[in-house]
Amino acid sequence: MAEVRVHNFSISLDGFATGEGQSLEAPFGHAGERLHEWFVGTRFFRAQDGLSGGTQGVDNAFAEQHNPRIGAEIMGAGKFGPPGWQDDPDWKGWWGPNPPYHTPVFVLTHRPRPSIEMEGGTTFHFLDAGPAEALAQAREAAPGADVRIGGGPTVVRDFLAEGLIDYMHVAQVPILLGRGVRLWDGLESLEQTYTIEPVSTPSGVTHLTFTARR
């Protein structure tokens, strides 16, 4: 059966998935790229950019699980663009003309706009919808395939709160941010509904997998 999945979602030791002060110049606020250095350094990520080399081992093994079987993605407005992107009719995301998704992508925003078809099979659809409604549309767009919840933290938290995520991979990075947007706020007792398994790595990243108990 098709699943709803989260992959390679990075948080700090104090639970922040993005920093404070997001802007066009600083997509992750004061966190910079520190949350994602482990990911961009993997062989998997470098290969996506046509580059050789990169780390292997456990970090790369988790990174490689990002794309297989994914037929659609759901993301929040804060992942699609900086604050105020809705006021720019020419904004088409951070990723250039050929975004890395290659599937339908559903962007949750209170100010929808017409869909944007990009190169490589990515089409951005803009929805003013809650988690269940957005998931129903994503499933319809990806019959039989899995749906990835891409973030940011508020979107992942909302889907967790409604029990809609089947599998989640969180990479806990050994840094402290102190401020920003936390993943876990308002969530309690996930250990009662998910089997949680930690894997430590030489890089200092702890990979946490959450598998729903059905």
Average pLDDT of each block of 10 consecutive residues along the chain (214 residues)? 95 98 96 96 91 93 96 98 96 96 97 97 98 98 96 97 97 98 95 96 96 92
Contact between 150 and 74 under an 8 Å Cβ cutoff? The reply is: yes
pLDDT of residue 1: 79
> Which pLDDT value is given to residue 49?
84
At residue 124, the pLDDT reads: 98
What CA–CA distance (Å, rounded) separates 201 from 151? 24
pLDDT of residue 122: 98
DSSP state of 121: G
Q: Which tokens belong to 86?
A: 């809705």
Which of 124, 149, 176 lies closest to 3 in space, CA to CA?
149
- Between CA 41 and CA 56 the distance in angstroms is 9
Residue keyed to tokens 């019959």: 143
The pTM score is 0.95
Rg (CA), the chain: 17
The residue count for the chain: 214
